[in-house]
Amino acid sequence: MRIATYNVNSITARLPRLLAWLESSGTDVLCVQETKCSAEQFPHDELRELGYESAVNATGRWNGVALLSKVGLEDVVTGLPGGPDYEGVQEPRAISATCGGVRVWSVYVPNGREVEHDHYGYKLGWFRALAAAVAEDAAGPRPFAVLGDFNVAPTDEDVYDPAVFAGATHVTPAERAALEELRAAGLSDVFPRALKYDRPYTFWDYRMLAFPKNRGMRIDLVYGNEPFTKAVTDAYVDREERKGKGASDHAPVVVDLDLDR
């Protein structure tokens, strides 16, 4: 099974590229973030033509997550159980389902904005709710993984220059401690192998030629339990998909599984 996560930064804007990538990549299950559309606008029909079932948690122009699968889409749950509101709204940031025997979550963790901003506290609260919500599946016998845009670089080596990010969100001790809570629940970071560069970054800002200069961050992550990680045969960032006109500012992270070994 090939499973991937991809922050498309608007599925409407990215649809032609997404459809072409799905056809060429051989992906069986895709976790999508930042759909930036309503549920009614989601392109179920176009995806169905490629053989994908789809489920979406989306409410409008911000946020939004989805799951696409060629291997079944069962027991769909939208939202984060016990998750916090932001300004009275339960934002569409999580969706989960069982795909080909693997329990999969697609998540778009809040950005946090600035350390002094109330969105930062919301982000940490969201992480706590996520750790609690996945604990049972993380410790279970079935392959299980949380994939998505975590908006945290796990270590200083996951940003191109730690000094640039000093004092900013995405690299604070509290955010990294939130990832440690997921590890304590039984999940491990499935680290992509390096391809063109030593560090497999997943996000490059559109500004200041960040992508050509490889000024990136690794914030799109795959956290799997032991049955999941034991099945991993390969993991990589599809950096080619970040190139060219109309690309997202993120690249897909791809994981290959052999569930029979």
Q: Which residues are catalytic?
A: 108, 149, 250
Is 149 annotated as contributing to ligand binding? yes
**Is there a binding annotation on residue 250?**
yes
Task: Answer positive or negative: Cα dihedral of 261, 221, 20, 241.
Answer: negative
Q: Which amino acid is at 149?
A: D
Known binder of ligand: residue 249?
yes
Q: How big is the CA angle at 131 (ends 251 and 126), to the nearest 5 degrees?
A: 70
170 annotated to bind ligand: no
The answer to the question of whether 7 is labelled as a binding residue is yes
67: Cβ contacts below 8 Å, ≥ 6 apart: 29, 30, 31, 32, 54, 55, 56, 73, 76, 95, 96, 97, 99, 104, 106
Residue length of the chain: 261
How far is 150 from 234, CA to CA, in rounded Å? Answer: 21
Which helix or strand (DSSP H or E) is residue 36 part of? none
Which residues are annotated as part of the binding site for Mg(2+)? 7, 34, 149, 151, 249-250
Annotated binding-site residues read 7, 34, 149, 151, 249-250
